[in-house]
Structure 1
Amino acid sequence: MAIHTKYIFSPISFLSSHLSSAHESVMSTLRDRVEQKTQIAIKSQDALYFESQSELFSYDGVDFQLTICPALLKKPSNPPPGVNGETIDSRAKRQRNESSEATSQKDVFAPPYNENLFVEDIGDSHVLLLNKYMVTLNHFLLATKDFVPQTSPLLPSDLLLARKIILEYKKTGQSLLSFFNCGEKSGASQPHKHIQFIPLGESLPIEKLANQLQIDNESKFFSIDNFPFANFGMKLSTLANAPSEDELEAELANRFMTLLDAQADTYRRLEQGPPSPPFSYNVLMTHDYLFLIPRSKESVSIEAANGLEGWNKSLNSLDYAGLMLLRRSEEKLGISNPLEVLLQASFPKVHIPEPVYQVDSQLIQ
């Protein structure tokens, strides 16, 4: 009989051994459990791993990691993000428009969970699951147990859980990228609220650019000048000194609200006027940074080039992090200027006179 191992989320159990006395003989980390479950799920074909090749591509001082995955051309019945056929946007809209009964049957993040994709419970509110379609091994996600729409913003509790997962992985020597696609135009693959995590082998392209900046005041947001599109980031390095879990949660929420305020200020200053709500954006969190990129549309049209047909490319958080997924090597010809491709699905930069937003944590509790 299959058994779900439940781990109660707390500062002690989650960030230290994360094990009850019944499991002390099996000293494992969250990373161990994700990696072990990934191997089981791939072997049982409950998770599908698509082999790929990656190469670096530099444009105008910005590095991109281009991942070529030919298996995406085979169009599985429920394809991963970026595959032609039913687009991510249309799939999410279709699921939202179905009746509540049908939606509950099709909600891939609702219980009962596939045993081989289930990693563990995180308290009473969230669950860790493997991503069913993996281009990156050990790709997992944090989903709400109850249905919450992906169009809803991250709560302080969501940010805290994501941060703790990143910190636990960091203790094993592995860096993680956490990302959240919020809204219909963000590249969200499912309408049920979830935050995704992938292991990083090298420094993330967007982090390399942020590391070149001199950031003296972490209460201020910054923008990466190399990007032609609106982007906002904040450093997280001082959060390691947070004396309590409550303060860590408040500081994370404070920084996230700062980025949301910067997005709102950008919308007010656009020549064409602000977009209509609800707004879409991508959120990236690493050990050192938190980024937000406002989105104007879900996909862009790539023109035909050198005999290759044009196609629509869906863009999500990973593309703006500098990790771009392609189906074949020839598609590189269609994105010879990746910064322009990203700009088409986001907003142009505007000048914000005083980029400082101090938010009282009491306003976001």
Structure 2
Amino acid sequence: MAQGKILLKPGTLWTSVKERTNHALQCGALLSILTEFEFVEQDGVRFLVRILSNLNRKKAAKEKQEKQSVISGEEFNPFLPYEEDLFVADISDTHVCIFNKYNVVDYHLLIVTRTFQEQESLLNLEDFAAMWACLADFDGLVFYNSGKNAGASQRHKHLQLVPLPLASSGPQIPIEPLLTATQFQDSNATLTKLPFIHAFAPLNPDWMESPFTAAQATLEVYRTLLGAVGLDARQLGAYNLLATREWMLIVPRRQEHFQSISVNSLGFAGALLVRNAAEMEILKAQGPMTILKNVAIS
């Protein structure tokens, strides 16, 4: 198969993000969801917990999406076509970068396939090439919610990218203190303080120089990690993938929710979202790491 083509010019993504953010806000396409936050500590991790100030925007959007699906008789796909005012940049001949319309985190980007692919399908060479093309110019956390039980809200395949640091103080990513306690068995690594099934591997930041070379190496790491946690490519269960320039983490999922609290990949980075004070009380009473253990596989 012929190698795809990277369209994103090096050094241009961050400039495009800032320019396009101003445009998307001014024309009303980007509808940021306001939150407050606090830190909740458990098991050596200072979890960043955001509480929604106003859920009405997201709720109204979901109702609108459901109404459009009923009218058309087909499931509404916000990525095909995507909203032009949310466009950030062309990444490659297979992927485009757009804003997350209802963003909780500033500069929250989506790396979306140009043609429809299922969100539960395996990541491939083109997905990882697009990821590295973005990471070369945008130091961030990439994540992939594979399947509804992993927190996926759309069926159309998309990786997500948020800038680092995730929090204004402390480590760039709240779980980073645990990344130093790594136990290797053969070529597979586990983080000794994570109380659920997972697999971890270092990545080489130098790979950024060539997205497709990086993608090939990353694809091999990805397949190894899937095997290490018992995810069979033929019958793939739900899982979360997190990646930075330096590492990759995969966590298989048992369920999306702990009581009413929804958890996606960001939860396993140490960043959780609750909808109201009642959910915050549940989170504090149970402990954030306990919640992760319950939605993952122990």
TM-score by length of 1: 0.70
In 1: Cα distance, 2:215 partner to 2:72 partner: 33
Corresponding residue of 2:120: 151
**CA gap 1:190/1:163 in 2 versus in 1, 3 angstroms:** same
**CA gap 1:216/1:242 in 2 versus in 1, 3 angstroms:** farther
1:249 partnered with 2:197: no
* Matching of residues 78-93 of structure 1 within 5 Å: 78-79=61-62
Unaligned ranges ≥5, structure 2: none
In 2: Cα distance, 1:32 partner to 1:141 partner: 16
Could you tell me how far 1:323 is from its partner in structure 2?
A: 0.5
Q: 1:194 aligns with which of 135, 151, 158?
A: 158
* Matching of residues 252-271 of structure 1 within 5 Å: 252-264=218-230
- Which stretch shifts more, 315-324 or 256-265? 256-265
Structure showing greater radius of gyration is 1
Corresponding residue of 1:172: none
Q: 1:208 aligns with which of 153, 157, 177?
A: 177
Corresponding residue of 1:127: 96
In 2: Cα distance, 1:297 partner to 1:258 partner: 23
**CA gap 1:33/1:221 in 2 versus in 1, 3 angstroms:** same
| Contact 1:283-1:293 at 8 Å conserved across structures | yes
1:225 partnered with 2:158: no
Corresponding residue of 1:279: 237
In 1: Cα distance, 2:57 partner to 2:240 partner: 28
In 1: Cα distance, 2:150 partner to 2:72 partner: 23
**CA gap 1:334/1:41 in 2 versus in 1, 3 angstroms:** same
Deviations 1:270-312 (A, max 9, x none): xxxxxx94410000011211110000112121xxxxxxxxxx1
Deviations 1:115-140 (A, max 9, x none): 21112222321111111101111111
| Contact 1:15-1:168 at 8 Å conserved across structures | no
Corresponding residue of 1:335: 283
In 1: Cα distance, 2:15 partner to 2:208 partner: 27
In structure 2, the residue corresponding to 1:102 is in which secondary structure? coil
Could you tell me how far 1:247 is from its partner in structure 2?
A: 3.4
Could you tell me how far 1:75 is from its partner in structure 2?
A: 5.3
* Matching of residues 312-327 of structure 1 within 5 Å: 312-327=260-275
Deviations 1:96-124 (A, max 9, x none): xx899723xx210002x322111222232
Q: 1:176 aligns with which of 140, 146, 153?
A: 140
TM-score by length of 2: 0.85
> C-alpha root-mean-square deviation of aligned residues, in Å?
3.0
| Contact 2:98-2:110 at 8 Å conserved across structures | yes
Q: 2:294 aligns with which of 333, 340, 344?
A: 344
What is the number of equivalent residue pairs in this alignment? 286
Corresponding residue of 1:309: none
In 2: Cα distance, 1:122 partner to 1:62 partner: 35
Q: 1:110 aligns with which of 80, 84, 90?
A: 80
In 2: Cα distance, 1:263 partner to 1:241 partner: 25
| Contact 1:64-1:323 at 8 Å conserved across structures | yes
- The letter for the 2-side match of 1:163 is W
